[in-house]
Every structure is written in structure tokens, then in C-alpha cells.
A and B are shown apart, each in its own frame.
Chain A
Amino acid sequence: MEIKVLGPGCAKCVKAEKLVKEVLEETGLDASVEKVTDMMQIASYGVFGTPSVIVDGEVKCTGKVPKKEDVIAWITK
């Protein structure tokens, strides 16, 4: 599984990345997490807000730090 966290590096974006890593550690699932900070790349995903979380190319949430339950649901499905 491939997870991308999009965000230029504000407090919320850092929080989102931390949350995703936390969930991975707790569930023991194997997935790569990549933080995307480049604006051009962020724009190419078609999101209007950061932080955004993308799981296997699918945009899961934009413009907010997701809830923990949601992250668990995305990656255990």
C-alpha cells in the first residue's frame, strides 16, 4: 500500500503525517508513507486544501486532519 500525505509543512500537515504513521505502527500494517511538500505535485492531485491524504492514488480527505478511525478504516480495508 502506498500512502501520501500532501502538505507544505504547516502544523496541521505535520499532525496528519504523524497520525498516519501512528496508525500504521499500531495496526502493524506494512505501507510506505510519503510526505509531499512540493506545490506542483500537490496541485497535480487536484486537491484544494492541505493536508490531504491519498491512499493508493485515491484521495481520501482534503483540507483537514483526518480522524483516527477514518485512517484505520482506509488502510485496513
Chain B
Amino acid sequence: MKNRSNIRLVRKNESALMLNFFMGAAGVVLWWMIYRQLPELSKWLTYGLLQIGKGSHLGESIEFFLYDTPKVMMLLFLVVFGVGVIRSFFTPEKTRAFLSGKSEFAGNIFAALLGIITPFCSCSAVPLFIGFVTAGVPLGVTFSFLIAAPMVNEIAVGLLYGLLGWKVAALYMGTGLFIAIAAGWVIGRLKLENHIEDWVTQANMAAAEMEEEKLTWNDRFIYGWDAVKEIIGRVWIYVILGIAVGAGIHGFVPEGMMASIMGKGTWWSVPLSVVIGVPMYSNAAGIIPVVEALLGKGASLGSVLAFMMSVIALSLPEMVILRKVLKPRLIAVFVCVVACGILFVGYLFNMVLYDGSDILFSNITTLYNKLLGLLSSF
């Protein structure tokens, strides 16, 4: 009897999965059709319906706003759902178990990669930190994880890809990973283990015993859907604010003005971007429309990336949380090492992209095309 009802349950789940799958596919097609109409729609709304003069400052701003808001929201929706489904495969417990036997350098790399996809909210940073350290994960490796998690924000990667193209998205992700790996490695070399608060090392805790959940694909889709509700519910206001600021910059800041403040030639533009960025507590979703508008006005990629990374990765609330487990000197080292990494990235991009931005990009493109050719030949 029990067996039969089990079979019925499995069948029911299967048909629910099929239904979800088809609805999802139809949804994606609809999404794509609306997404492609957005430029026309925003033009029509601004100049047709609202009757605002074409080419005026206000018109430019409103068009940017009406175009970017649905665009960013639609992208967010897709990216957050996808990331949510991927994240259902990872847990902090699995990550810790994986990292605890790794040697230092390889450990830094794995930790940074896992930092991107392991789901945890920022107020879990402390229990997570304790969990890692007490399990024998080296301090530097733990830091690679903790730096990569906010620095390489997977939602930021998705949005950058949608708004600025894959090159910028790849640069952001690559350099973010580099900073997390290098900073963690440096912190590991500095042997700062005695600058962790004493109670942490005495905690000596074992991971809580829990049955591991078995998730079906249906569960994973629900997980993705929950992520959409949770994250978009939380960040939408930042997104709208960010787009409004971006729209203001787009419409009213004169062309080329940003080139003098955040340009490639001015040496102080990168550190200034970092100094402005740290106290600003926004999240990735809100800052990217601003980035998009700044780039459009002649700001250089290096300065803008530095700005964005310092906003996302070095936030004051995070420091306050970490103070519970780290002594002030270790926090200071953490901030310095990460800030140095961000400065390095900023200068690197301003230098490499100084007059031949397309040289680097065309090299990457060639490499990419070669890789694709190689893959397709299999």
C-alpha cells in the first residue's frame, strides 16, 4: 500500500516538474520578447506619451530611467532565479568540509570560487568565520572566502553582462577573484592567527549534526523562486534609487566631464574612487546603473571598477560585524589588503586600457573564439 502511494507521489511530482518546465520555457520566450521591445517602448513613452522634447536634458534622463528600470528588473529576475537554483547545490557545511583538508595556495583559489556561490547572508559571516577557523581551515583561506563572497557578487556579474557586455563582466569577475585569492594569501603569510578574539579559538566546535536535505529539481526551482522574492523584495528600492541617480548623470552631466574627475589620466582618481566608495553602503544591484551612467560620461573603467568594488566589498557595517571575532589590528590588515587590491585593479585597468582598450579586448576575443572553435570541434 505504502509503495503504491509512493509511486503515485513520484508521478505527481514528475508531472508538476513537467508543468513547471513548460511554464518556465514559455515565460523565458515572453521575457525575451518584452526585453527586446524596451528601447522602443521607453522612447515612445518619453517622447510620444509624455511629450518631452527630444534631445533635452530631462528627456535624456527620463528615457534612461524608463529604459533601465524594467531592463534591470527583468535581468535581476532572471539572474537571481538562476543563481538561486545553482545555490541550492551548495551549503556552507559542504564548503567547510571541502576546504578543511586543502593546502594553502590551492585552498585560497577554491575558497574564493566557493565564496561566490555558497549562499549565506552577511549577518552569518561571524558564525561562518568561527566554523571555518575551528575546523582547521587556515585563516588566509577563510579570508579568501569571506572577501570573494561580497566582492564577486554573482548578481553584479549578471547585471554587468546585461548592461555593459561580457567583457566588463569577465574583467570584474576575474579581478575580484584575483583580489580575494591574493589578499587571503597575504593575510595567511602574515601569521595573524593570534589576532582573532580569544573566545573564537577556544570555541572548538564541531559542525551541528543535521540530516542533509534531499532536494528534487522541483525543490530547487522553488528555492530559486524564493530567492527572487527575497532578494528583489529587499533590493528593488536601491535599484530604483541607483537608476534615478544614473538617469540624472546621464541627462545632466555634460559629456566628458567625468573624464577629468574619474578619468584615466588623473592619478588620484582611483584612490579617490575608493575613498568615496567605502562609506557608501549600497548593494551591487543599486550601484551598477550608476556605473553604467558614469562610464557613458567618460569615466574610465579602472576608476569605476575601483569605485564599485569598494562600495560592495569594504562596507562599514561589515567591519562592525567582524569586530566581534577579529581584533582591531586584523580588521585593519583586512581593510588595507583589500584596498590595496582594489587600487591595483583600478590602476591596472586604467593603464592597460589607456589608449588601446580595444587591443586587450580584441586579444581576449581572439582567445575566446579559439576556445569556442576548439570546443565545437569535439
Residues of A within 8 A of B (CB): 7-13, 39-40, 42-50, 52, 59-63
Contact = CB atoms under 8 A, between A and B. Distances in A.
A50 B124 CA distance: 5
The 5 closest A-B pairs by CB, nearest first: A46-B208, A59-B208, A10-B123, A48-B92, A49-B124
B205 A44 contact: yes
B121 A43 contact: no
Contacts of B206: 46
Nearest to A61: B210
B207 interface: yes
Contacts, number: 72
B119 interface: yes
Which range contains the number of B residues in contact with the other chain? Answer: 20 to 34
Interface of B: 91-93, 96, 119-124, 126-128, 130-131, 199-200, 203, 205-210, 234, 321, 324-325
A42 B124 CA distance: 10
B123 A48 contact: no
A48 B203 contact: no
Nearest to B321: A8
A48 B121 contact: no
A53 B120 CA distance: 16
A46 B134 CA distance: 10
Q: Pick the most buried of B127, B130, B200: most chain A CB atoms within 10 A of its CB.
A: B127
B83 to A, nearest CB: 15
A74 B24 CA distance: 33
Contacts of B122: 10
Contacts of A10: 121-123
B35 to A, nearest CB: 31
Contacts of A63: 91-92, 119-121, 124
A39 B124 CA distance: 10
A48 B207 contact: yes
5 contacts: A12-B121, A12-B123, A13-B123, A48-B131, A52-B208
Contact of A50 (B91, B123, B324): B123
B199 A45 contact: no
Contact of A39 (B127, B207, B209): B127
Contact of A43 (B96, B203, B209): B203
A43 B123 contact: no
Given A40-B203, A63-B92, A48 B209 contact: no
